[in-house]
Every structure is written in structure tokens, then in C-alpha cells.
């Protein structure tokens, strides 16, 4: 009996493969692992010996200048990397937000992170990869433990900053090599951002932190080699943003210019989101606009177009951006939280830019590229994975030179037809009728049993919560 059942479902698969327009499960799946070391500025690799970064650069590609998206904060930029959208289009416009339509606030440290509505102005690549019939895995990437568009990653970890880097790596490698392997993974690590804030990027103590990140990259390389994955996997090592040195002499106190009762302070330094109380917009704006030469104050509609930071209700009606190295507070008693390093400033500043290196079978060898935009990473990753990108702000053409020529352009999977054409519908109906008719007579003659359920291409889309390894 089991033999008959097996051959029956095998036959069903073959017939379906002939009848369906997009059979993805037979295709060789390329593997991709995207790693973000939070706050790893582009030039850190040149500061101390970084043999593991060096090895990847020699074996693969490096991009010297990566322009990330405004504002140069952690949540907006991590969501940009996996959607190819500027913050105004993916909706995660800051680490701290207020949505006047939802009438709710969001903090990256708060429980609102798990409210899908904040994320669903976009669909991240791990979901799109799953919709194409593959499996994705996520180790603590922002948004990856939230249901987005109804789906979690096939495999993921609940966010817990105390879980060591090594545990995150081991989980991912298990998922890449397991019985139902993922082919796309994302990995997040909190350093060197945290040390960069506390010590300031120019501190000599940062050298130790950077060397430690290189060791961690070394651990990842070794584990990939041990699992036999190193030569198969396309590995991208990047970051969300850089870091700049602050000074206790460069502090702007808003209390000197505007009454606290007139506004709510939504997002923090160095790009402050100001929500004026009802009826106080003009008072707040005119009090601030020429108040201090080290800050620029915008009405939302006047934010320069090239920042792509305007068309979203979560961007506050008044935005203050301070000059590089400056900090803005309400008054100096707030400076007990004073940091020595920060980011968030204009994305055209060199200090705000992240590192970017990549290596693997689809990447060129020993190639250095002058510049790219972080929105281009998404179409690049779609091309590596062979999935069709959703509408985005990136350009595959401008980063295609990072890939080996034979792989360019990799044909993306055809999009699922939104409105199937007449011919497609007729073809599908005929195909389905053929399958059903054949199976009906086949089953009736051979087994007299019920049909097995049709295999669903997307059955891995809604995985139950996975437990953290303690």
C-alpha cells in the first residue's frame, strides 16, 4: 500500500508540474545569507586588521560608498534593505513613531513592534521568497518576528538581545542544512552600534570592538565551511548605518525656543519629529524655524525631495534636523542620557554610510565598486534568489556588475498573474480537467481510495512560533 500511495502522489506531482504555469519546487535554489552588523561604518574595516573582511573582499566584492536611506536609523534602514523602499514608502519611518490614523505610538523597544499594522505598508523579501515556494529563516532582523502579510519567516527567533551571536549563527546554519532547508536567511547583530554610541566612534576603545566583529565574521565563515555551505552560499555583510562623534559642547536645548505644552516630541535626536498640539502648528514652527544656526527646521511638505521623506502620515508635521555631531534635547537635564556617538543624520554624509562586502558563487571575484544605494540591495537579492521583485525604489541595472556575468540577468520567476488572461484560464481549466479526469479513472481502477490532498506550494507560509534555544 505505501508504495502505491507514493507512486500516486509522485504521479500527481508530475501532472501538476505540467498543468501549472509556475512550478518552482524543481528549480535549483540559490542560497543567500544577509548579515547586518548594526552601526558598522564603512571605514571600520580599514582601522584595525580585519582579516575576515579582507578575505571576503578578496574572494568577492566590496562597495566603497553605500548611500542608505533617510533617516539613517536602525529600523527604517533594516526595512529598506529587505523591501527596496525608502522609509516614506515602507512605513517604518523612525525608531519612534506616531501614526495619527491608527492613533498609536511605536517604539522599537516596545510591544507595538508586534502589531502588524506598522509593517504592512510593505512586504519583506522573506515573505516574497516563501510565496515563490521557498523557505526563509530570520535571526532577530527587525520585523522578522512579526506576522507581515499573514506570514512569519518559515524559521525565526523571537527578538532577544541576550542571545549570543554564535547561537544565532548556529540556528541559521541548522536551518540552511536541515531536512526542509531554507534558501534565504537574515542575521542581525547589535554591535558595533551599542559601543559606538557609548564610546564614540573616534575612541581608541572602538578598535577592540571592531576587531571583535571581525572575529565574529570569522566564526560565521568557519561554521559555514564546517557545514559544507561556504562555497554554495551567497553571503552579504552590510549594516544599516554608520556613526559620528558627538560633543557635549554641541547641544541644542529646545526649551530655550518653544514651550513644551505646545508640542509632543515623537522621535529623538538628531532628526526630531515634532507633533504640534492642535492649533499650535504656526506657533511651534515660527518659534523654531530661525532659532539656531545648527539646526534646520522643515514643515513636512518642505522636506527636500531627494531625502524621500515626506509622503507618509507617520512623518511628523515639523521635523528638526541638526548638523552632524550636534545633539538636540529639551533641556540639559536630559543630557544624563548623553551619548558620545550617534547616527540618524543626513544620508549623504559619509559618516552615516555602512560597510558592504559580499562573496559567493553568484558574486564576482575581487571586484570593487565605487557606489550603490541601499535600495538597490533588494532587486540584487531578488536576482540572486530568482524571485520576482515587488515594486521598489531600487535599480537592478545599477548593481548588476556585482554579479558574475553568466548570472546576469538571472530570469526572475514570472509574477503570478493578478488577473489571469483568457488563454491562461482556459489552459488551466483544461489542465485541471485533464488531471482530475485522469486521476479519477486512475484512482478508481487502481486503489478505490480517496485522492490525497493536493500539495500546496505555500504550506510553509504560516509556521507556528518556534521556541528560542535557551
Ligand X SMILES: *[C@@H]1O[C@H](CO)[C@@H](O)[C@H](O)[C@H]1NC(C)=O
**Binding residues vs ligand X (CB under 6 A):** 85, 89, 103, 160, 162-163, 255, 308, 330-331, 333-334, 391-393, 468, 470
Express the helix, strand and coil content of the chain in percent, nearest 5 each. Answer: 35, 20, 45
Q: Order of strands across the sheet with 184-189?
A: 155-157, 136-139, 184-189, 31-37, 233-238, 356-359, 61-67, 367-373
Residue number of the CB atom closest to ligand X: 391
Least gap, CB of 86 to ligand X (angstroms): 6
CB nearer to ligand X: give 89 or 128.
Answer: 89
CB nearer to ligand X: give 100 or 417.
Answer: 100
74 assigned to active site: yes
Least gap, CB of 160 to ligand X (angstroms): 4
Cβ–Cβ contacts within 10 Å for residue 200, how many? 19
CB nearer to ligand X: give 202 or 255.
Answer: 255
How many Å apart are CA 101 and CA 92, to the nearest integer? 15
Least gap, CB of 79 to ligand X (angstroms): 13
**Partner touching 111 among Zn ion, ligand X, none, CB below 5 to 8 Å by kind:** none
CA separation, residue 126 to residues 135, 152, 180, 394 (Å): 8, 8, 16, 17
Least gap, CB of 347 to Zn ion (angstroms): 15
How many Å apart are CA 426 and CA 441, to the nearest integer? 22
* Residues in region 186-225 near Zn ion by CB under 5 A: 193
CB nearer to Zn ion: give 243 or 380.
Answer: 243
Least gap, CB of 181 to ligand X (angstroms): 24
**Partner touching 52 among ligand X, Zn ion, none, CB below 5 to 8 Å by kind:** none
**Partner touching 331 among ligand X, Zn ion, none, CB below 5 to 8 Å by kind:** ligand X
Sign of the Cα pseudo-torsion (170, 171, 172, 178, in order) = positive
Please give the span between the terminal C-alpha atoms of the chain, in angstroms, as a whole number. 42
- Could you tell me which stretch among 89-97, 162-170, 185-193, 347-355 binds Zn ion (CB under 5 A)? 185-193
Of 249, 386, 405, 245, nearest in space to 325 by CA: 245
CB nearer to Zn ion: give 341 or 386.
Answer: 341
Instruction: State the catalytic residue, choosing from 50, 72, 74, 238.
Output: 74
**Partner touching 46 among ligand X, Zn ion, none, CB below 5 to 8 Å by kind:** none
Rounded to 5 degrees, what are φ and ψ at 138?
Answer: -135, 130
- β-bridge partners, 319: 273, 298
The contact set with Zn ion (CB under 5 A) reads 193
Give the active site residues. 74
Amino acid at each position: 500500500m505505501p508504495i502505491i500511495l507514493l507512486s500516486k502522489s509522485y504521479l500527481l506531482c508530475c501532472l501538476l508540474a505540467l498543468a501549472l504555469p509556475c512550478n518552482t519546487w524543481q528549480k535549483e535554489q540559490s542560497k543567500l545569507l544577509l548579515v547586518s552588523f548594526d552601526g558598522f561604518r564603512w571605514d571600520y574595516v580599514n582601522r584595525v586588521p580585519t582579516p575576515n573582511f579582507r578575505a571576503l573582499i578578496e574572494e568577492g566584492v566590496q562597495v566603497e560608498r553605500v548611500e542608505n536611506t533617510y533617516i539613517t536609523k536602525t529600523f527604517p534602514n533594516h526595512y529598506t534593505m529587505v523591501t527596496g523602499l525608502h522609509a516614506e514608502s515602507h512605513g517604518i519611518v523612525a525608531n519612534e513613531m506616531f501614526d495619527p490614523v491608527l492613533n498609536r505610538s511605536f517604539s522599537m523597544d516596545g510591544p507595538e513592534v508586534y502589531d502588524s499594522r506598522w509593517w504592512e505598508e510593505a512586504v519583506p523579501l522573506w515573505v516574497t521568497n516563501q510565496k515563490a515556494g521557498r523557505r526563509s529563516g530570520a535571526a532577530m532582523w527587525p520585523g522578522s518576528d512579526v506576522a507581515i502579510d499573514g506570514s512569519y519567516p518559515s524559521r525565526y527567533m523571537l527578538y532577544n538581545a541576550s542571545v549570543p551571536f554564535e547561537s544565532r549563527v548556529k540556528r541559521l546554519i541548522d536551518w540552511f542544512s536541515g531536512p526542509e532547508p531554507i534558501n534565504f536567511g537574515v542575521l542581525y547583530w547589535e554591535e558595533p552600534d551599542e559601543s559606538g554610541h557609548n564610546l564614540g566612534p573616534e575612541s581608541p576603545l572602538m578598535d577592540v570592538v571592531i576587531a571583535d566583529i571581525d572575529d565574529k565574521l570569522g566564526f560565521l565563515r568557519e561554521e559555514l565551511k564546517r557545514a559544507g555551505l561556504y562555497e554554495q552560499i551567497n553571503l552579504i555583510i552590510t549594516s544599516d548605518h554608520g556613526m559620528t562623534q558627538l560633543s557635549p559642547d554641541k547641544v541644542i536645548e529646545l526649551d530655550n525656543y518653544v514651550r513644551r505644552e505646545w508640542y509632543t516630541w515623537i522621535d529623538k535626536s538628531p532628526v526630531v519629529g515634532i507633533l504640534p498640539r492642535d492649533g499650535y502648528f504656526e506657533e511651534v514652527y515660527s518659534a523654531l524655524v530661525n532659532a539656531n544656526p545648527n539646526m534646520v527646521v522643515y514643515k513636512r511638505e518642505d522636506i527636500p525631495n531627494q531625502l524621500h521623506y515626506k509622503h507618509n502620515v507617520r512623518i511628523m508635521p515639523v521635523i528638526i534636523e541638526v548638523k552632524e555631531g550636534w545633539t538636540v534635547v529639551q533641556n540639559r537635564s536630559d543630557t544624563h542620557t548623553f551619548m558620545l556617538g550617534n547616527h540618524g543624520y543626513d544620508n549623504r554624509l559619509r559618516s552615516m554610510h555602512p560597510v558592504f562586502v559580499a562573496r559567493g558563487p553568484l558574486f564576482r571575484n575581487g571586484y570593487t565598486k565605487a557606489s550603490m544605494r541601499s535600495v538597490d540591495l533588494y532587486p540584487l537579492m531578488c536576482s540572486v534568489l530568482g524571485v520576482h521583485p515587488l515594486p521598489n525604489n531600487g535599480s537592478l541595472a545599477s548593481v548588476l556588475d556585482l554579479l558574475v556575468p553568466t548570472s546576469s540577468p538571472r530570469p526572475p520567476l514570472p509574477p503570478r498573474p493578478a488577473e489571469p488572461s483568457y488563454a491562461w484560464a482556459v489552459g488551466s481549466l483544461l489542465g485541471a480537467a485533464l488531471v482530475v479526469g485522469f486521476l479519477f479513472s486512475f484512482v478508481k481502477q487502481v486503489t478505490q481510495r480517496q485522492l490525497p490532498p493536493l500539495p500546496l506550494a505555500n504550506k510553509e507560509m504560516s509556521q507556528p512560533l518556534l521556541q528560542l534555544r535557551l
